[in-house]
Chain A
Amino acid sequence: MSKRWQLTLTVVSLISGILLMSLILANQAARSEAAESSNEDLIEIINRVEEETVALEELIDEKRDRIDQIREHKVEDGELTVLQSELEWLRRRVGLTQVTGPGITVILDDNEALASAAKATNPLSFDPNSYIIHDKDLLYLVNDLKIGGAEAISINNQRIITSSDIRCVGTVILVNSTRLAPPYEIRAIGNPEKLMKQVSNGQTYPWLKSRDFPVEIIEEEVIQIPTYKGSFATGHLQVTKGESETND
């Protein structure tokens, strides 16, 4: 028994010894080979390029994330379309688009023929104001057109908008603070018959006609009314909070 035990131990020790030797030899061989080939520069370069590559990969990953974020927050085309159509609707409502359609043209002119005749026959009682078109004539005519359902109105190519004022300074008529001169051409788009009827029975036209002013109404198949070219004063206005809005 003890003999066998000794034998086994001897064999095992022998194998262990061989293994240990080969281990040491392998390590030595590897080291000496590296030293001999002097690859240190190459290894350094490889290590550096490797580090750079890792850093680049991280940067690329980060950049892709950021691009994805922008894409997610990108404005939807639909949103822009909705806004643009709302703006377009408002622009029409406030007179910022040219409009065409059927309607009428009313022409009012100063009564120069009658004025000179009156001046010649009766210079002392001659009042030139009785022979010219006044701001109120235009103001009430515009109201007549609105009663007649006019959808767009202009006077001598000045678009009448909500806040348009018609007034005079001396004998000069201002519309949208722009000086106008006779003859006054008032255009209105709407139902021509209704507009015609309203104007010929309205405040201005019959009265001027009765005093022989050179006035006329022309029914039109297609007229053009230009856009409003002025500004909108909104400096004192704030939208009331919590109030609903008018829809089309």
Chain B
Amino acid sequence: MTKSKSWYVSLTIVFVALGFLLSTQFQTQQKVLTALDAQRKEDLITVWKNLDDKNRSLKQEMEALDEAYRQLLAQSQEANSTIKTITDEINRLKLASGVSAVTGPGITVTITGDAPLLFLDLIDLVNELWATGAEAISINDYRITGNTSIAEASDAFSFYITIDGEKLLYPVVIKAIGDPHTLEKGLTFTGGLVDIWKTQFGIHPEVQKRDEVNIPAAKYYPVWAYAQVPAAQ
């Protein structure tokens, strides 16, 4: 029994060795078949030509992509610069139009209830402030725009000033943003508006320079019912 057993073992070992040899032989054959140095010259030339064709088409693809990239980049930069230009203009016009609440240095003019103030005086004051470089004006925190009208109305008791139809209450505080010194001097120089108010009309406003003045956004913009922008523009 022991003898027959050892026989089996030996045979198994031999077959394993044989199997190993066979697989090594197969792998070697494969390597030899795929290695370039095992190829014939004609085959190598074919491989080279194929590779060269692929290489050339890849280079063309690359050029096309480069061109597309350049164009896209230029377009996106152009679009971005267009957007930036428009946004800058919008921000500038928002400041100028009264659409935004604004802050800045300036002056305040305070007129108390005992002053014999006429609506024409207020029109003069606003005009004078624009003339001396005001960039935004409010009267009792009501933003003055190009449509704002100042008028006079009366009820059973008295005459009063209206701004866009709303009754003006005292004390009247006019705020203007701009260079504080220029604005103040523009009002208070000898022979200027405040001088005339004091000497001829008995109105004694208090003009004060301010580091910071807050002026609200315009309450509303009337919708145009008559004016139209020509289509050609």
Range class of the A interface residue count: 35 or more
Could you say which residues of chain A place their CB within 8 Å of the CB of B156?
A: none
Q: Which of A33-41, A105-113, A125-133, A208-216 contacts B (4 or more CB under 8 A)?
A: A33-41
Whether the pair A99, B228 counts as a contact (CB closer than 8 A) is yes
Whether the pair B93, A189 counts as a contact (CB closer than 8 A) is no
Could you say which residues of chain B place their CB within 8 Å of the CB of A1?
A: 3-4, 7
Q: Is A143 an interface residue (CB 8 A)?
A: yes
Could you say which residues of chain B place their CB within 8 Å of the CB of A49?
A: 48, 51-52, 55
Range class of the B interface residue count: 35 or more
Q: Is A119 an interface residue (CB 8 A)?
A: no
Dominant secondary structure at the A interface:
helix
Whether the pair A93, B221 counts as a contact (CB closer than 8 A) is yes
Whether the pair A27, B28 counts as a contact (CB closer than 8 A) is yes
Could you say which residues of chain A place their CB within 8 Å of the CB of B87?
A: 83
- A42 and B83 contact, Cβ closer than 8 Å, known pairs A56-B58, A162-B146: no
A176 to B4, CA, bound (A): 125
Q: Which of B108-116, B126-134, B199-207 contacts A (4 or more CB under 8 A)?
A: B126-134
Interface members, chain A 152-168 (any B CB < 8 Å): 152, 160-167
Whether the pair A165, B39 counts as a contact (CB closer than 8 A) is no
Contact with A along B186-206 (1 / 0, CB 8 A): 000000000000000000000
A33 to B90, CA, bound (A): 80
Whether the pair B93, A46 counts as a contact (CB closer than 8 A) is no
A160 to B127, CA, bound (A): 12
Which of A2, A80, A150, A248 is in CB contact (< 8 Å) with B83? A80
Which of A67, A163, A165, A246 is in CB contact (< 8 Å) with B99? A246
- Nearest-Cβ distance from residue A200 to partner chain B, whole angstroms: 16
Known contacts A166-B127, A235-B135; can you find 14 more A-B pairs with CB under 8 A?
A: A8-B14, A43-B36, A73-B76, A83-B86, A83-B87, A87-B93, A90-B97, A98-B229, A146-B147, A165-B131, A243-B217, A244-B217, A246-B99, A246-B219
Q: Which residues on A are within 8 Å of B, measured CB to CB?
A: 1-2, 5, 8-9, 12, 15-16, 19-20, 22-23, 26-27, 30, 33-34, 37, 39-40, 42-43, 45-47, 49-50, 52-53, 56-57, 59-60, 63-64, 66-67, 70-71, 73-75, 79-80, 83-84, 86-87, 90-103, 136, 139-140, 143, 146-147, 149-152, 160-167, 189-191, 203, 224-225, 232-240, 243-246, 248
